[in-house]
Amino acid sequence: MQAEAGASLNAAAAPSAGRDETSSDSGADATPPSPTTDETAEQPSRSNRLIAVLIGIAVVTYAIDQLSKAWVVANLQMGEPHPIVGEFFQLRRAANPGAAFSIATNATWLLTIIAIVVIGCTIWAARKLRSRGWAAALGLLIGGALGNLTDRFFRAPGGGKGHVIDMFQLPNWPIFNVADVWIVSAAVLICLLAFRGIGIDGTRVSDDKDKDTDEHATRSEPARTDDAER
């Protein structure tokens, strides 16, 4: 009698133990793996490399802009056209009190403040930098904005109201300079990155959605397993 009762108790306990093991295994699977030490150490290293790329691009683009303006001032007379590709593309020295492509010529001080804010916000955003594309875009933006901002402070009349040196002339298009090319290139690249769903931290919108879907499916798996066993 006692042996039969013991066997019955063992048989009843076996399914319960099986369910406990299944729940334990499912719970372990639902816990996302923590990043390894190598992965954690790699993130700051990658960020530092990308910041170095950003700084390098900003320095190079700023230098090209300033050298081109210095050459124009030394070799071209104000307003005198120099054809490069006939009348389609010409060099013509001009002093622009406005923004890129001669926009807002009566708001020089406001444009100076905006340029300072843009540079400051770009440097602040670079703290989260994990994308090569964003490193290039922000480097172009800083180099271009800093190039025109230098003219605001160091070219006549100076004091934040200086006139920017422009030199490229196309038909039916406002005259512009190298810094304007960098700024527009940065804007186009940022739009492309946003269209592809790539954030400044290197993540993609589609990746986040897939991760949320996987986490939801993992959390639902233990409940489905328990229901099937019952």
User: Which candidate in 38, 65, 151, 180 is catalytic?
Assistant: 180
Question: Which are the contacts of 205, defined by CB distance < 8 A and separation ≥ 6?
Answer: 197, 199
Q: CA-CA distance, 147 to 57, in Å (whole number)?
A: 13
Q: Which residue has the tokens 């930098």?
A: 129
In terms of DSSP bridges, do strands 173-176 and 81-85 run parallel, antiparallel, or are they unpaired? unpaired
The beta strands (E) that lie in the chain are given as: 81-85, 89-96, 164-170, 173-176
DSSP for 75-113, written as a single string: H--BT-EEEEETTTEEEEEEEE-SSGGG--TT-HHHHHH
User: Which candidate in 25, 29, 65, 166 is catalytic?
Assistant: 166
Q: Is 34 helix (H, G, I), strand (E, B) or coil?
A: coil
Determine whether 180 is an active site residue. Answer: yes
Return the amino acid letter for 148.
N
Dihedral, CA atoms, 136, 142, 143, 144, nearest 10 degrees?
110
Determine whether 210 is an active site residue. Answer: no
Active site residues: 166, 180
